[in-house]
């Protein structure tokens, strides 16, 4: 069976070796592969594995033997799901491999901002020491209000760490979750307006779609407390970056920790760069040895289902993946 994997810069040595040892023809393509090159590679392919590469309707329509698209990761925004359904191609992602990992990344960004670690480290690097001046005063997590936009798997892990682990008051906005989920997590349900107005930390853990694009824009940013910080480890376009830059310039919020951006990779000279109160990460809060081992195992399990012609297990709650023929929803 021919399997094409894009974004080969993401090393999956165990998975690649297992597929090759089983006799499958594995074609590796780099991140940024052209649509024409991908169409050519998929002309006689059975399965496409992708992470970041856009999979458009023309690509899907040209792949006549394609039976499945496996996103080795969570977000499916780069895949034309409608086109896949129209052509009978099953789409599956791997949503559970890094819930704790990404939540830890968000928590790390929050702690670093609250304790002003980037600015302190820069001062130490340049001058060798600094004294306990007012500008370096940090804040304890205990007693703060942490506001979560989205209370899915990662949001629930963040709530556990902030609330049970560090004694924060945790509130959340998620119109798609039942009250029982909030109760189990020990989180108070609030409106979006109440969240941005009252939270000391606003942390984003929701999917990107037409409803959530620029969910955090100028109105939300300028309602936040001036001492509040924004964390985004979800999807870059949840935040209006131009409005965020304006809010930071005007001191409307205290800082931001970002692992995702509207356009990736960032271009040189981006206005969010070189700010002492902004932490920028290259979309890598998921990137740990443990998480990648889980990713390889879960991806291999979904591939085996496609290869053997068995129903494909869809564990994602994303409604876009519902209603697919040849899929099961545990």
The whole model's pTM is what?
Answer: 0.90
Q: What is the mean pLDDT of residues 321-329?
A: 93
Torsion-angle region of 76 (φ positive above 0: left; ψ -120 to 50: alpha; else: beta): alpha
- Please identify every residue annotated as catalytic: 235, 264, 283
Distances (CA, A) of 81 to 70, 180, 206: 12, 30, 19
**Are the beta carbons of 88 and 66 closer than 8 angstroms?**
no
pLDDT digits (tens, 9 = 90+) for 174-231: 999 999 999 999 999 999 999 999 999 999 999 898 999 999 999 999 999 999 999 9
- Nearest in space to 31 (alpha carbons), one of 52, 56, 60: 52
Q: Which residues pair with 312 in a beta bridge?
A: 327
Domains of the chain: 2-97+289-328 (3.40.50.720), 99-280 (3.40.50.720)
- Binning pLDDT at 50, 70 and 90, where does residue 326 land? confident
pLDDT digits (tens, 9 = 90+) for 103-144: 999 999 999 999 999 999 999 999 999 999 999 999 999 999
pLDDT digits (tens, 9 = 90+) for 259-281: 999 999 999 999 999 999 999 99
Q: Which residues pair with 313 in a beta bridge?
A: 328
What's the CA gap between 293 and 30, in Å, rounded?
21
Q: Could you write out the three-class secondary structure of 113-151?
A: HHCCHHHHHHHHHHHCCCCCCHHHCCCCCCCCEEEEECC
**Are the beta carbons of 166 and 217 closer than 8 angstroms?**
no
Question: What is the helix (H) or strand (E) element at residue 202, kind and residue range?
Answer: strand 201-204
What's the CA gap between 135 and 249, in Å, rounded?
17
- Binning pLDDT at 50, 70 and 90, where does residue 317 land? confident
- Nearest in space to 31 (alpha carbons), one of 101, 78, 68, 91: 78
Question: Residue 325 pLDDT more than 90?
Answer: no
């Amino acid at each position: 069976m021919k399997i094409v994997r894009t974004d080969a810069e993401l090393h999956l040595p165990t998975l690649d070796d297992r597929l090759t040892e089983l006799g499958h023809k594995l074609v590796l393509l780099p991140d940024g592969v052209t649509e024409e090159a991908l169409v050519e590679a998929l002309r006689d392919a059975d399965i496409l594995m992708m992470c970041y590469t856009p999979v458009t309707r023309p690509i899907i329509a040209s792949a006549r033997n394609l039976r499945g698209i496996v996103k080795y990761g969570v977000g499916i925004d780069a895949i034309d799901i409608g086109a896949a359904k129209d052509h009978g191609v099953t789409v599956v992602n791997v949503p559970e491999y890094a819930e704790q990992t990404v939540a830890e990344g968000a928590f790390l960004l929050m702690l670093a901002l609250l304790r002003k670690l980037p600015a302190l480290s820069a001062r130490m690097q340049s001058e060798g020491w600094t004294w306990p001046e007012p500008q370096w005063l940090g804040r304890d997590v205990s007693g703060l209000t942490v506001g979560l936009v989205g209370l899915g798997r990662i949001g629930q892990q963040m709530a556990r760490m902030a609330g049970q682990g560090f004694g924060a008051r945790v509130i959340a906005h998620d119109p798609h979750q039942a009250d029982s989920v909030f109760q189990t997590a020990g989180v108070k349900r609030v409106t979006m307006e109440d969240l941005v107005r009252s939270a000391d930390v606003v942390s984003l853990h929701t999917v990107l779609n037409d409803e959530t694009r620029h969910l955090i824009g100028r109105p939300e940013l300028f309602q936040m407390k001036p001492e509040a910080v924004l964390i985004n480890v979800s999807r870059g376009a949840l935040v209006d970056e131009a409005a965020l830059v304006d809010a930071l310039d005007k001191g409307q919020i205290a800082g931001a920790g970002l692992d995702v951006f509207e356009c990736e990779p960032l271009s040189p000279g981006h206005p969010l760069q070189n700010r002492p109160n902004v932490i920028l990460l290259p979309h890598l809060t998921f990137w740990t040895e443990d998480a990648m081992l889980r990713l390889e195992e879960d991806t291999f399990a979904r591939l085996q289902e496609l290869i053997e012609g068995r129903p494909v297990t869809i564990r994602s709650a994303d409604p876009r993946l519902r209603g697919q023929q040849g899929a099961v929803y545990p």
